[in-house]
Amino acid sequence: MNTIDNALEPSGETTGLGHVLQPGKIDVSHGTILYVDDISVSFDGFKALNGLTLVLDAGELRCVIGPNGAGKTTMMDVITGKTRPDSGTAFLGQTLDLTRLTEHEIARLGIGRKFQKPTVFEAHSVFENLELAMKSDKGVWHSLFARLDSADTDRIAAMLERIGLKAQAGRPAGMLSHGQKQWLEIGMLLMQDPQVLLLDEPVAGMTDEETARTAELLQSLAGRHTIVVVEHDMEFVASIARKVTVLHEGRVLAEGPMDLIQNDERVIEVYLGR
């Protein structure tokens, strides 16, 4: 009898016997949300990832840096289901094997991804971009008969406010500036209510002021979301990072707080330059 009662409790709740697993729910009972374990990927003999292992705690803000070709984007491709690894596993929470799921399934589970080049729906208005991204039933039938209710429009309005695009709501997203597109894309990710946010160069092409505002936004999101930022802008990384991972040749070279990383001999050798 006791076990049946426990099954109704939310995942992650501990009992005397441990906790009950719920299918499709992210189980962060051990405090870890993403395990990337010994992943290798090669393209025509080139090892893009070579035994990469990365562990992220729930609510953490992590920066990933590394020279070109270190495997940063491939790592994101594996986590989001775009690329299948040759070996190794990637788990979301304790139970969800990402290497067996497709892109849209992973997105629905709560991993949002921003591309290196800002990718928004250029022909759609800013409002519609957020509407399409919003967490809801994304099946064909539902979309054919879907109507926005007032709670939905409120959510979209709140997000427009938050990303500073309220005045642009009705404009086609293609007309936005580069920095505004970056913000819109981040807004679209947030509309999905994600657990994990993967951001590939979120401040590329932004002005100093926009960069500072983005840093502020990401700081405010940490804690509620787990955030992984891939970035080249060291100043930006220094301004937000609590923990930094350095990738080199498809594996982790160093990991730790920013000031330690900056003084690491090997990191200076391959990346920061003397």
Partner 1 sequence: MAVFAAIVFVAIPLLRLAVPPDHPLHVSDYYLLLLGKFMCYAMVALAMDLIWGYAGILSLGHGLFFALGGYSMGMYLMREIGTEGQYGSHLPDYMVFLDWKEFPWYWAGSEYFALAVLKVLLVPGLLAFVFGWFAFRSRIKGVYFSIITQALTFAFMLLFFRNDTGFGGNNGFTDFKRILGFSLAEPGTKAALMATTGLFLLLALLACRYIVSSKFGRVLAAIRDAESRTMFCGYNTRHYKLFVWVFSAVLCGIAGALYVPQVGIINPGEMSPANSIEIAIWTAVGGRGTLIGAAAGAGIVNGAKSWFTMAFPEFWLYFLGALFIVVTLYLPRGLAGLFARRRDAA
112 versus 250: smaller Cβ distance to partner 1 = 112
Length of the chain: 274
Q: Which of 9, 13, 122, 208 binds partner 1 (CB under 8 A)?
A: 122
Which strand ranges, in their side-by-side order, compose the sheet holding 243-248? 111-114, 196-200, 226-230, 61-65, 243-248, 251-256
Q: Which of 255, 267, 251 is nearest to 49 (CA)?
A: 251
148 versus 268: smaller Cβ distance to partner 1 = 148
Q: Assess 266 for contact with partner 1 (CB under 8 A).
A: no
108 versus 162: smaller Cβ distance to partner 1 = 108
Task: Report the nearest approach of partner 1 to the CB of residue 163 (Å).
Answer: 16
What does the buried/exposed string (b/e) look like for 76-113 if buried means 16 or more CB atoms within 10 Å of the residue's CB?
bbbbbbebebeebebbbbbebebbebeeeebbbbbbbb
Cβ of 43: how many Cβ atoms within 10 Å?
9
Q: Assess 230 for contact with partner 1 (CB under 8 A).
A: no
Find all residues with CB under 8 Å of 38, minimum gap 6, and list them.
Answer: 51, 52, 53, 87, 88, 89
DSSP state of 35: E
Q: Which of 64, 79, 120, 215 binds partner 1 (CB under 8 A)?
A: 120
Q: Assess 124 for contact with partner 1 (CB under 8 A).
A: yes
77 versus 231: smaller Cβ distance to partner 1 = 77
Q: Which stretch binds partner 1 (CB under 8 A): 39-47, 140-148, 202-210, 218-226?
A: 140-148
134 versus 237: smaller Cβ distance to partner 1 = 134
Contact track, partner 1, 89-108, x by CB under 8 A? -------------xxx--xx
| Inter-residue contact 222 to 57 (CB < 8 Å) | no
138 versus 213: smaller Cβ distance to partner 1 = 138
Tokens coding 111? 């991993």
29 versus 125: smaller Cβ distance to partner 1 = 125
Q: Which of 145, 151, 167, 273 binds partner 1 (CB under 8 A)?
A: 145
Q: Assess 119 for contact with partner 1 (CB under 8 A).
A: yes
Q: Assess 128 for contact with partner 1 (CB under 8 A).
A: yes
Place of tokens 């393209």: 43
User: H-type helices in the chain, by residue range?
Assistant: 2-7, 72-79, 103-109, 126-133, 140-145, 150-162, 178-191, 208-221, 234-240, 258-262, 265-267
CA distance linking residue 236 with residue 240, whole number of Å? 7
Q: Assess 188 for contact with partner 1 (CB under 8 A).
A: yes
Q: Which of 66, 112, 179, 250 binds partner 1 (CB under 8 A)?
A: 112
Q: Assess 151 for contact with partner 1 (CB under 8 A).
A: no
Residue ranges in contact with partner 1 by CB under 8 A? 80, 82, 102-104, 107-108, 112-113, 115, 119-124, 128, 131-133, 135, 138-140, 143-146, 188, 192
